[in-house]
Amino acid sequence: MPDTAQPIGTIGVIRRFPVKGMAGEELPEVFVTFAGLVGDRVYAFLDPQNKSDFPWITPRIFPEMLLWKPRFIAPPSAEEAHPAAEKYRVEISTPEKHFRDISTPEFRAYLQNKVGREIDFRFSERSMHDTLPVSVFGLPTFDALSKETGRNLDQRRFRPNFVVDWAEKTPFLEDSFVGRTIHLGEKLALRLVKKDMRCKVITLDPDTAEAAPEVLEVVAKKHGNCSGVYGAVLREGIVRRGDPVFVD
């Protein structure tokens, strides 16, 4: 961005999800490739009998997944755009048990027993997203939704990669940038493509997995069932917490 450009906000939270559907982790910095945040949703489980476009096992089917905490054993640094295979090794902690390796038959059997169906395991360095590789959410939007639902909503319900503290404290400001390019930090450029259509997952408390259906009801009735936006990566780069955000 030119030196004269004024930032429209700053990066407040960076979050990635090593396993699709499980708890995420906050990061001080991360490298973002054209496929998304390095290490984001690189593991997933799916139902081999489900031939639809959404075969994934997620909290929509099994809410308790939100309570399972994956951790990279030797996580890739922000300088590693293409980490070695060993940097993707993940261990899992559940409320009942700790597993040293997500890819073992032991963990798959545990998951199958919990879900009550056959499970396939998948790994991909390119990340397995529902639609686009990066999600962005404005901090004022969280505040507005908390007021509208009468709940102190945890940001983790909405599972965004980047939470932006907009300089203009307008709820859903991110919606107005759909179709435009935003710049995060020194290099990363995102084209914001569309609003994020929501599902049952936002009704689930990330600490208990208890459901609050009114959260989705409010989002559906007042905001067209959308909150947050999706982006495509136009230029790769490192993003750090506190980095400025610009818009073209």
* pLDDT tens by residue, 5-48: 799 999 999 999 999 999 999 999 999 999 999 999 999 999 99
According to the per-residue pLDDT averaged within each range, which of 45-54, 115-124, 228-237 is highest?
A: 228-237
Please give the single-letter amino acid code of residue 40.
D
Q: Does residue 3 have a pLDDT over 60?
A: no
Listed in sequence order, the residues at least 6 apart from 81 whose beta carbon sits closer than 8 Å to its beta carbon are 31, 33, 38, 236
Mean pLDDT across 108-115: 94
Please give the single-letter amino acid code of residue 205.
D
- Picking from 214, 196, 207, the residue whose alpha carbon sits closest to that of residue 136 is 196
Mean pLDDT across 89-98: 95
- The highest-level CATH class for domain 9-247 is mainly beta
The tens digit of pLDDT for each residue in 141-171 reads 999 999 999 999 999 999 999 999 999 999 9
Q: Taking the C-alpha atoms of 78, 79, 84 and 85 in order, what is their torsion angle to the nearest 10 degrees?
A: 10
Residue ranges per structural domain of the chain? 9-247
Q: In this structure, how many other beta carbons lie within 10 angstroms of the beta carbon of residue 87?
A: 16
Taking the complete model, does pTM exceed 0.75, yes or no?
Answer: yes
The tens digit of pLDDT for each residue in 124-133 reads 998 999 889 9
Q: Does residue 4 have a pLDDT over 80?
A: no
Give the model's pLDDT for residue 187: 96
**Counting every residue, how long is the chain?**
248
Binned at pLDDT 50, 70 and 90, residue 1 comes out as low
Q: Does residue 235 have a pLDDT over 90?
A: yes
Give the model's pLDDT for residue 179: 97
Q: Does residue 73 have a pLDDT over 80?
A: yes
The tens digit of pLDDT for each residue in 132-148 reads 999 999 999 999 999 99
Residue 131, classed as helix, strand or coil, is: coil
The tens digit of pLDDT for each residue in 169-219 reads 999 999 999 999 999 999 999 999 999 999 999 999 999 999 999 999 999
